Amino acid sequence: MWGSFLQSELNQVCEDFGLEEIEMMKYYDAENPGVMAAQADKAEQLIRKIIENGGGRIREFANEKEFLHEI
């Protein structure tokens, strides 16, 4: 169920920003979750590239405590 929500959000973002679709659910395999994890890594790299090439900055934190300290 959560995977379909993720796919729906990705579809909307791609549509809103004129991006090529990022498929996740077609890679779902309960017997081999590494396939979908690899696709998620590719999607993350694509999204990072789009943000950074557009002049955006991605703030990253080592852990939840560090994140919560910043907000």
Q: Which two three-digit tokens encode residue 42?
A: 């590719």
29-51 pLDDT tens trace: 999 999 999 999 999 998 899 89
Q: For residues 56 and 49, is the Cβ–Cβ distance under 8 A?
A: no
Q: Which residue has the higher pLDDT, 36 or 3?
A: 36
In 1-71, the DSSP E strands lie at: none
Domain edges within the chain: 2-70
Q: What is the pTM of this model?
A: 0.73
